[in-house]
A and B are shown apart, each in its own frame.
Chain A
Amino acid sequence: RKEVEQDPGPFNVPEGATVAFNCTYSNSASQSFFWYRQDCRKEPKLLMSVYSSGNEDGRFTAQLNRASQYISLLIRDSKLSDSATYLCVVKTRTGNQFYFGTGTSLTVIP
């Protein structure tokens, strides 16, 4: 079983739409959670960390459900510039290890 699983998509949504991505992780001892954004042929960049109480950054909202071991990312009012691949990343409590989902592809259509 993979450490982190994501729906690969692709998600094709119109501008202004709300879109949600989910991610599940297998290790209940996982410590920290992140969403990264990766543009085509570029390196991943941190979009936001995910905190236990949930957190929001502008149009982006991240949620963590430790009991069910899943993480979500909600994007409201989608912009063309949001088109990218979104990676779910989980950090272990010990060993400073990071585990990546395969990424979810988003295309925002005019």
Chain B
Amino acid sequence: DGGITQSPKYLFRKEGQNVTLSCEQNLNHDAMYWYRQDPGQGLRLIYYSQIVNDFQKGDIAEGYSVSREKKESFPLTVTSAQKNPTAFYLCASSMSGTATGELFFGEGSRLTVL
């Protein structure tokens, strides 16, 4: 079955540590996205990538980094520079170049900083 796989589902981190969240899709989508959701809040865009080897900052990119070396993969690194990293992280993908292509989401990664 096609879909988006995020790992790990739950992650605990000590302050000052970098962590990398994995996102893999087998939908053959060009565009991939990382969102952050805080309790009771909407989704905020961290980074997005429209094509391999290219990515753009979203609204809250500070303290995060990404890479897009393969079409299927878009890992997100939460660095120690991110002041308040505890949140629910959602990876998504969509088909580029279509008028109505919707977003497909992974199941999310819940990061807690201790």
Is B100's CB under 8 angstroms from A49's CB?
A: yes
Q: Given A31-B99, A34-B102, A102-B41, are A96 and B50 neighbors across the interface (CB < 8 Å)?
A: yes
Total A-B pairs, Cβ < 8 A: 48
Q: Least Cβ distance of B31 to chain A in Å?
A: 5
Contact of B96 among A42, A89, A96, A100 (CB under 8 A): A96
Which residue of B has the minimal Cβ distance to A45?
B105
Q: Which of B45, B90, B102 has a CB less than 8 Å from the CB of A43?
A: B90
Tally B residues with Cβ within 8 Å of A.
Answer: 23
Bound together, the chains give a CA A96 to CA B48 distance in angstroms of 10
B60 touches A (CB below 8 Å): no
Q: B94 in the interface, Cβ–Cβ < 8 Å? A: yes
Asked whether A44 and B99 contact (CB < 8 A) given A96-B31, A98-B33, A100-B42, the answer is: no
CB-nearest residue of chain B to A48: B102
> What A residues does B50 contact at CB under 8 A?
96
16 extra interface residue pairs, beta carbon distance < 8 Å, beyond A36-B103, A41-B110: A32-B102, A34-B103, A41-B88, A42-B107, A42-B108, A43-B105, A43-B108, A44-B43, A45-B105, A49-B102, A87-B42, A96-B50, A96-B94, A96-B96, A101-B42, A103-B42
